[in-house]
């Protein structure tokens, strides 16, 4: 007779659980990967524990497409470290890139480093802080080539995006040729539209709103340089010449983005 309970334990195992003022954080191990949850059944982050440097979730791969944009890749800011898969991907692709990560939840940071295989290197700095306060405090004193926003609560995108001071100061942290990359959800249309309006209002041109091929994520790109669109054909060419960079299948994803904006990419 098969012990069904034993089979379940083998397939799914809880490897981390901790609670702080922002809620309960759980990491489950199943089907060859570890998944992080923030008080709901939505997978907030995932890592293949056989190859933790390679991005697992589609939205992380989509955000990393931005690394093909021509320009400097020396310094990045990640607001919303989560399980750390974006930070791990940046570190793997851009060896030596200086990465600052901001995460308000101490439990999430613990999960990332203790259960989600987040590498910690001398080039990384992690801050346990509220993203709004951190951004406003540092705006004007430092510049980043890339800023990645992945700010979520258990139920969806963080309401921090409704704060116009936050949006303004995020853009002030971008270098002259800097790139902003934001992960959002399709199934919160009213909030998502409001977020995009707030962010677009701080730039000279509307950004690229990319509805991903599967799932319910939407990735938004915008650029500090008002003439950024002149570099889009070079961005496309670079990705086509190296279709497996910065991860397997990147060229295919880039073609999907280009198809959404044929005029921009030429």
As a whole number of angstroms, the distance between CA 157 and CA 192 comes to 8
Mean pLDDT throughout 219-239? 96
Give the pLDDT confidence score for residue 46 in this predicted structure.
94
Q: What is the 3-state secondary structure (H, E, C) of the chain?
A: CCCHHHHHHHHEEEEEEEEECCEEEEEEEECCEEEEEECCCCEEEEEECCCCCCCCCHHHHHHHHHHHCCCCCCEEEEECCCCCHHHHHHHHHCCCCEEEEEECCHHHHHHHHHCCCCCCCCCEEEEECCHHHHHHHHECCECEEEEEECCEECCEECHHHHCHHHHHHHHHCEEEEEEEEEEEECCCHHHHHHHHHHHHCCCCCCCEEEECCCCCEEEEEEECCCCHHHHHHHHHHHHHHCCCCCCCCHHHHHHHHHHHCHHHHC
Give the pLDDT confidence score for residue 150 in this predicted structure.
96
Identify the CATH assignment for 51-265 out of 3.40.50.300, 3.20.20.140, 2.40.50.140, 3.40.50.150. 3.40.50.150
Q: How far is CA 179 from CA 24, 64, 97, 128, 217, in A?
A: 33, 11, 15, 24, 19
pLDDT in tens, 5-31: 444 445 789 999 999 999 999 999 999
pLDDT in tens, 118-134: 988 999 999 999 999 99
Q: How far apart are the first and last CA of the chain?
A: 63
Give the pLDDT confidence score for residue 121 in this predicted structure.
92
Q: Which single residue is written with the structure tokens 């589609």?
A: 58
For residue 108, pLDDT over 80 is answered with: yes
pLDDT in tens, 160-206: 999 999 999 999 999 999 999 999 999 999 999 999 999 999 999 99
């Amino acid at each position: 007779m098969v012990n069904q309970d034993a089979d379940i334990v083998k397939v799914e195992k809880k490897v981390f659980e901790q609670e702080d003022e922002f809620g309960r954080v759980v990491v489950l191990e199943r089907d060859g990967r570890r998944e992080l949850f923030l008080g709901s059944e939505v997978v907030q982050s995932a890592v293949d524990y056989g190859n933790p440097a390679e991005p697992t979730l589609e939205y992380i791969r989509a955000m990393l497409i931005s690394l093909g944009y021509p320009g400097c890749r020396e310094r990045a800011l990640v607001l919303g470290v989560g399980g750390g898969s974006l930070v791990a991907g940046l570190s793997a692709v851009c060896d030596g890139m200086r990465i600052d990560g901001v995460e308000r939840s101490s439990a999430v940071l613990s999960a990332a480093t203790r259960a989600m295989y987040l590498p910690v290197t001398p080039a990384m700095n992690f801050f346990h802080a509220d993203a709004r306060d951190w951004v406003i405090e540092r705006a004007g004193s430092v510049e980043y080539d890339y800023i990645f926003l992945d700010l979520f609560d258990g139920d969806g995108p963080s309401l921090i995006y409704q704060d116009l001071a936050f949006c303004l100061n995020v853009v002030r942290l971008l270098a002259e040729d800097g790139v902003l990359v934001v992960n959002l959800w399709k199934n919160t249309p009213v909030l998502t539209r409001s977020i995009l309006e707030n962010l677009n209002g701080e730039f000279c041109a509307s950004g690229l709103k990319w509805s991903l091929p599967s799932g319910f994520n939407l990735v938004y790109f915008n650029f500090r340089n008002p003439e950024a669109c002149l570099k889009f054909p070079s961005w496309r060419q670079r990705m086509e010449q190296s279709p497996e960079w910065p991860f397997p299948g990147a060229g295919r994803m880039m073609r999907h983005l280009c198809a959404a904006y044929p005029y921009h990419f030429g």
